[in-house]
Amino acid sequence: MARRAAEYRAAGRRIIDLTLGEPDFAPPAHAVLAAQEAAARPLGYAPANGIPELRQAARHALERDRALSYTDAEVAVGCGAKQVIFNALFATLGPGDEVIIPAPYWASYPDMVRLCGAVPVIVPCSAESGFRITPDTLEAAMTERTRWVLLNAPGNPSGATYSHDSLTGLAEVLRRHPSAMILSDEIYAHIRYGEGEYISIAQVAPDLHERILLVDGVSKAYAMTGWRVGWGVGPAELVRRITAVQTQNCTQTATVSQIAAVAALEGPQELLAQRCATYRQRRDAALAILQQSRHLDTLEPDGAFYLLPRLAKGDDLTAANSLLEAGCATVPGSAFGAPGHLRLSFATDIASLEEGCRIIVATLDGIPA
């Protein structure tokens, strides 16, 4: 849809683009400066699991933000969270292995699992459950072939987060299935609207330490998607295998990007809260418009920068096509295992966002914008 929106624009049409899955902010100035300085120095190959300074900065950030301790051998750096996730799956999956993916899900998960020759097991999570997997639905999906359970909170595209209690319930199920690993994708952990600290399953279930790979990166929190830096922390043996895969595909993520990521992690952190406040304003402005529609039911997301309204009638692909014709690009929920929904990104300026939401409401409700 983003590509089609760009084509329409190139043809001279005015299109509000609510498809984007990346922050519209600039990277922190101190990260850019660190990269500029580093780029002037000779930078050769660096370790496949990341420069030591970045592994340390990632560990310190987890200690600071989530009170979690890891050793240096438990950190693997890759070209974004995406590559770390792929490497982990590739390093561990074989034919017939199953990976549990709660839906709605980030569109890449099922394809990555299939690329590894394994089977994605999609577990639908209803709007009524806040788009969260429950202990019962998790238990029902587990088999002796389950190798991984993928958790993502705040979720893309739902924005759902898990409370301490809900993670405790999931951990109880996971304890009964010791051969399954848990991948906790926490790339949106810094973009949250609720009170209190972010809670990771790694904090709630320290006894599962040897089975949890926690994934994070600089893409969303620090608006550094194009710099391609992410990391995974987990058991040293898994990290060793992730690093073995990394070594034989792209060697390492760019050293200059890693140096910028160190600066982002270790520099002033105030911008995280400031940006969250901006996202919250946008979320509320968009919700105020969308909730006027008779044809949409929109939950308030706890985190990330997406809204996932449910269509009262009709299919999401047809709706997204009509909306594009009307001047607003959205993504059909089917791409995320959420048919009958649309994903709208609010990582865009508030005026465009409001205009886009008004087009959506007017088009779906059949009234002039």
Among 70, 86, 106, 231, binds ligand PLP (CB under 6 A): 106
Beta pairing partners, 185: 152, 215
* Total residues at interface with ligand PLP (CB under 6 A): 13
185: closest CA among 220, 210, 227, 145?
Answer: 220
Comparing every residue's Cβ against ligand PLP, the nearest one is 80
Beta strands in 222-356 (DSSP E): 230-233, 296-297, 306-307, 310-311, 328-329, 331-332, 342-345
H or E element, residue 108: helix 108-115
Among 156, 252, 293, 348, binds ligand PLP (CB under 6 A): 156
Provide φ and ψ at 355, rounded to 5°: -65, -45
**Closest approach of Cβ 103 to ligand PLP, in Å?**
13
> Amino acid identity, residue 89?
L
Q: Which two tokens stand for residue 88?
A: 């982990």
Closest CB to ligand PLP among residues 230, 333: 230
**Closest approach of Cβ 150 to ligand PLP, in Å?**
9
**Closest approach of Cβ 186 to ligand PLP, in Å?**
9
Closest CB to ligand PLP among residues 231, 327: 231
CA angle 203, 159, 14 (to 5 degrees): 150
Closest CB to ligand PLP among residues 131, 363: 131
Give CA–CA dist 146/332, Å, rounded.
29
**Closest approach of Cβ 101 to ligand PLP, in Å?**
11
Provide φ and ψ at 7, rounded to 5°: -65, -40
Using rule CB under 6 A, residue 137 touches ligand PLP:
no
> Amino acid identity, residue 352?
S
Which residues, 256 to 285, sit near ligand PLP by CB under 6 A?
Answer: none
Closest CB to ligand PLP among residues 258, 363: 258
Question: Strand 146-152 relative to strand 181-185: parallel, antiparallel, unpaired?
Answer: parallel
Q: Are 362 and 331 in contact (CB under 8 A)?
A: no
Closest CB to ligand PLP among residues 223, 361: 223
- For the chain, helix, strand, coil in percent to 5 are 45, 15, 40
**Closest approach of Cβ 345 to ligand PLP, in Å?**
10
**Closest approach of Cβ 106 to ligand PLP, in Å?**
4
Give CA–CA dist 83/246, Å, rounded.
8
**Closest approach of Cβ 144 to ligand PLP, in Å?**
28
Which residues, 180 to 239, sit near ligand PLP by CB under 6 A?
Answer: 185, 187, 217, 219, 225, 230
Which residues, 65 to 94, sit near ligand PLP by CB under 6 A?
Answer: 80-82
Give CA–CA dist 213/92, Å, rounded.
12
Among 21, 23, 130, 303, binds ligand PLP (CB under 6 A): 21
Strand, coil or helix: 201: helix
**Closest approach of Cβ 174 to ligand PLP, in Å?**
20
Closest CB to ligand PLP among residues 100, 359: 100
Applying CB under 6 A, which residues contact ligand PLP?
21, 80-82, 106, 152, 156, 185, 187, 217, 219, 225, 230
